Chain A
Amino acid sequence: DIQMTQSPSTLSASVGDRVTITCRASQSISSWLAWYQQKLGKAPKLLIYEASSLESGVPSRFSGSGSGTEFTLTISSLQPDDFATYYCQQYNSYPYTFGQGTKLEIK
């Protein structure tokens, strides 16, 4: 199975900050990576697919990059609504696996 490792596990930031979350795959997954946002008690919401493609309706302050084994999710200017947990997911090969999550907290 492909292991997905996110860092950091927790990130404290302020409104207006630029933040970056990293996701590393245990083997190459090309660009077959998605990012999700999950708020407490809610279902995950798709933000990014194919490493850098923005899902329809997602604000442009979210962006993704990377290929192979290293990927990043960047939020250019944090808004109050962005404080949540973020997960990456590889869909290069079965079984489809998620990172352990990065909790974005208000500083």
Chain B
Amino acid sequence: QVQLVQSGSELKKPGASVKVSCKASGHTFTNYALNWVRQAPGQGLEWMGWINSNTGTPIYAQGFTGRFVFSLDTSVNTAYLQISSLKPEDTAVYYCAKKAGYYWYFDLWGRGTLVTVSS
């Protein structure tokens, strides 16, 4: 079954870092645009950017530069989102999502990873 399998919930203190993983199951990260989408509690969806599975090049949306890093390990078909210097406002569910072929809508989503930042 084709899936994106995300890592489990995280509870972190302000100032710490977190690394969320997204593993491709039933397929490989080939010719892939792997996107990250944030959903704060009770809020809508916010596109954070994407990483090219062929080149490993990340592209960040405005507001997600500096503390946010997208990376890939194609040997284990896994993408990562690392957030450093965590703030309480980073508390959210983070989704990975696959771009649908040529067009920038998303046809396969992970189940999401809840990151809670609290002292």
Contacts and interface: CB of A to CB of B under 8 A. Distances in A.
B45 A91 contact: no
Contact of B103 (A50, A55, A87, A95): A50
**Interface residues of A: mostly helix, strand, loop or mixed?**
loop
Interface residues of A, number: 23
A44 B95 contact: yes
B44 A46 contact: no
Given A95-B61, A95-B62, A46 B46 contact: no
Contact of A96 (B47, B95, B107, B110): B47
Contact of A32 (B44, B103, B106): B103
A97 B47 contact: yes
Nearest to A87: B45
B111 interface: yes
B100 A96 contact: no
Interface in A65-107: 87, 89, 91, 94-101
Q: At the interface, is chain B mostly helix, strand, loop or mixed?
A: strand
Interface in B35-72: 44-47, 61-62
B45 A43 contact: no
Contact of B106 (A46, A50, A94, A100): A46
Interface in A3-35: 32, 34
Given A43-B111, A46-B100, A49-B100, A98 B106 contact: no
B95 A43 contact: yes
Nearest to B62: A95
15 contacts: A32-B104, A34-B106, A36-B106, A43-B95, A43-B109, A43-B112, A44-B97, A44-B109, A45-B109, A50-B103, A94-B61, A96-B47, A96-B104, A98-B45, A101-B44
